[in-house]
Structure 1
Amino acid sequence: MQLPEISRQNLILLTGLTLLLAAFSALWMLQGLPPEGNRSFILKLRWTKLAGLIVVGAATGIATVLFQTVAGNRVLTPSIMGFDSLYVLLQTSLVMMLGIAGVAALPVGEKFLLEVGVMTLLACILFGTLLGRGARDIPRTILTGVILGILFRSLNSFLGRVIDPIEFAVVQQNSMASFSRIDANLLPYGLGLALLAMVGAMLLASRLDVLGLGREVAVSLGLRHERVVILTLALVAVLVAIPTALVGPITFFGLLVAGMTHGLAQTARHAILLPAAGLIAATMLVAGQLLFERVMGQAAFLSVIIEFAGGLFFMYLLLKGRIR
């Protein structure tokens, strides 16, 4: 396979983003490190959290760019369309059927892989039907996607009220995003799946460039449109399940990252957009958590600030009419 050519400007951009992420990662690992004592234990804890933040950020950013390409507009994101709500609904259904003790007794890796597999299948069926034929009517596509998201949240809320109150409290806690809560047991599985999905996305980069031209143009150029859409949605489902399992659902973060990526990259080539989105998202999370946790002592504020800023950006896009 021929490697895509990268312009000097884009090479500088990707190099700069990589160095910026490396700098904030070094600060995260070394800032406030005691000169003596059990430094290896502290570094191990910090490394686990740093790896989790990078995986969550990169997966969210790349998933959003992929989904916007399939949907054909810059407003839709997997979270707005209910992808993360679908994952939380699966979690609640498991708690309802097996109980907290039953869910806790399940092997972590097998449970996570099963959830990702079920979510990928359901996402391809639901959203593949919705977006696979080009989504020509953008307002109706947005409305349908939002309704699906509301449906998943409503079902999750209903099941949460049917189950035992203690189980409901556990479900509610897992339904709130927290970057301070990285499940170290899931991290190896999440990292492995994320790397595989990112490699798959990069292999589809040239086809995604054609897909972004629209269904009619893509088909006329010989692209197997439905096949590429299903493959992309499967990658999106995997990349959404990973951060949702590690930190909880994040609604507007991906939208904010995608907007920054398109603004900085100034290109439609996914060979540039995908790694740039991953680097920008990971840098934002590491830098934000470093600021709020180490400097301000308010670790829980990062998710609130990100959701607030992303919500404002979503309203800005709607008011400006940036549907495409």
Structure 2
Amino acid sequence: MKQQRTWIFLVVALLALIGLFMTYDTGPNLDYVIPRRAVRLATILLVGISVAYSSVIFQTITNNKILTPAIMGYESVFILFQTVIVFIYGDKTFQVITHQDNFFYAVLLMMAFSLMMYLLVFGKSKHSIYHLLLLGLVLGALFQTFGQFLQIVIDPNEFSVIQGFMFVSFNKINTDLLAIAAITLLATLIVGQRYLKYLDVLALGKEHAINLGLNYQKLVRIYMLMISLLVSVSTALVGPVTFLGILVTNLTYELFQTRKHRYMVWLCSGIACVALLLGQFLVEHIFNFSTTVSIVVNFVGGIYFMYLMLKTRKAL
């Protein structure tokens, strides 16, 4: 009964926030305001589902509740790519490369990065998933350092273009990119629905999953492909949100007792959408666009991450 009330409360909270976001302080220009807010709402829902879905899967296959796909270095690859093209083309970047091409190149590059790491770790030798995480962490730090070096030597006016990619923004969304991202997300979710049942077994650990007859390497390869695709699409669409995955997954574990992934991914997606909607509402109507959603989410998520670390330490 308690779980049912929590589920109902989450659905009501999400619907209430959607209604508030769409109707609050609209003014007389409804024909202009409502369509723009609808695009931002669709983007928020898409990013929330992508981040939550990928984070739940990632934490399950790594068997660690304080890790997110951000540790793999996807965001560093994305920022480095944007820095390199601005470094080469300067303020004429998006006259040479369209926003659609930039989106596709960024997604393909992050997917190639994920595939390269997987082949390096699991290609010929039998390394564990933690070798993959360590490689991603090291390469991510390397790419971040190189990107910061280019940002230092770049023209300050051109650096402002890069800053637009370093923080999440739902204010300037290309509707063509949104449609492409939505189709990609839908296709991934349809394929992923078939493999959610195996996550319940993988949550028991690698040895138990193998003993129960699962092809561990094949499933990890499929899940990593799904994760890289979801993270790549959401990052290329709006930018990086580092702590959102940690925040929403652990809130899901705290609020809901179920460990069945066919429920968890959607519960976590609902919480992620609520968090992003609330953050965007605060940015627009409380802070008057003086900050960004990523700063709000990362601030709250960073505090919650410290709480989790202290909680884990006390448990030990």
Partner of 1:30: 23
Select the residue among 107, 112, 116 that pairs with 1:116: 107
> 2:82 is matched by which residue type in structure 1?
Q
* Residues 174 and 248 in structure 1, CA contact (< 8 A), matched pair in contact too: yes
CA distance in 2: counterparts of 1:228 and 1:81, whole angstroms: 18
> 1:25 is matched by which residue type in structure 2?
I
* Residues 89 and 153 in structure 1, CA contact (< 8 A), matched pair in contact too: yes
Q: How far off its partner does 1:205 sit? A: 0.4
Greater Cα shift, 65-74 or 9-18: 9-18
CA distance in 1: counterparts of 2:98 and 2:293, whole angstroms: 31
Partner of 1:265: 256
Partner of 1:232: 223
Greater Cα shift, 86-95 or 179-188: 179-188
Select the residue among 97, 109, 120 that pairs with 1:106: 97
Select the residue among 203, 207, 212 that pairs with 2:203: 212
Partner of 1:277: 268
* TM-score normalised to structure 2 length: 0.86
Partner of 1:91: 82
Select the residue among 65, 82, 88 that pairs with 1:74: 65
Greater Cα shift, 147-156 or 10-19: 10-19
Q: How far off its partner does 1:185 sit? A: 4.1
In percent, how many aligned pairs have the same letter?
33
> 2:104 is matched by which residue type in structure 1?
L
* Residues 107 and 236 in structure 2, CA contact (< 8 A), matched pair in contact too: no
* Residues 81 and 145 in structure 1, CA contact (< 8 A), matched pair in contact too: yes
Greater Cα shift, 15-24 or 186-195: 15-24
* Residues 65 and 258 in structure 1, CA contact (< 8 A), matched pair in contact too: yes
Q: 1:1-80 maps to which residues of 2 (within 5 A)?
A: 13-34=6-27, 37-80=28-71
CA distance in 1: counterparts of 2:119 and 2:203, whole angstroms: 16
- CA offsets, 1:22-67, max 9 Å, x none? 2211111112233xx4422211111111111111222111111111
Select the residue among 309, 312, 316 that pairs with 1:318: 309
Greater Cα shift, 72-81 or 120-129: 120-129
- CA offsets, 1:244-296, max 9 Å, x none? 22322111111101111111222221101111111110111112322342245
CA distance in 2: counterparts of 1:295 and 1:231, whole angstroms: 42
SS at the partner of 1:321? helix
Partner of 2:279: 288
CA distance in 1: counterparts of 2:286 and 2:150, whole angstroms: 40
- CA offsets, 1:179-202, max 9 Å, x none? 444444421122221222223332
CA distance in 1: counterparts of 2:54 and 2:274, whole angstroms: 16
SS at the partner of 2:67? coil
Q: Higher helix fraction: Structure 1 or Structure 2?
A: 2
Query: Alignment length, in residue pairs?
Result: 313
Q: How far off its partner does 1:145 sit? A: 4.4
Q: CA RMSD in A?
A: 3.0
CA distance in 2: counterparts of 1:12 and 1:142, whole angstroms: 38
* Residues 128 and 230 in structure 1, CA contact (< 8 A), matched pair in contact too: no
Q: 1:125-136 maps to which residues of 2 (within 5 A)?
A: 125-126=116-117, 135=128
Q: How far off its partner does 1:163 sit? A: 4.5
Distance 1:319 1:149, change over 3 A: farther
Greater Cα shift, 110-119 or 267-276: 110-119
Q: 1:169-208 maps to which residues of 2 (within 5 A)?
A: 169-208=160-199
Gap regions ≥5 residues in structure 2: none
CA distance in 1: counterparts of 2:64 and 2:295, whole angstroms: 26
- CA offsets, 1:199-232, max 9 Å, x none? 3332210112222221111111121111111111
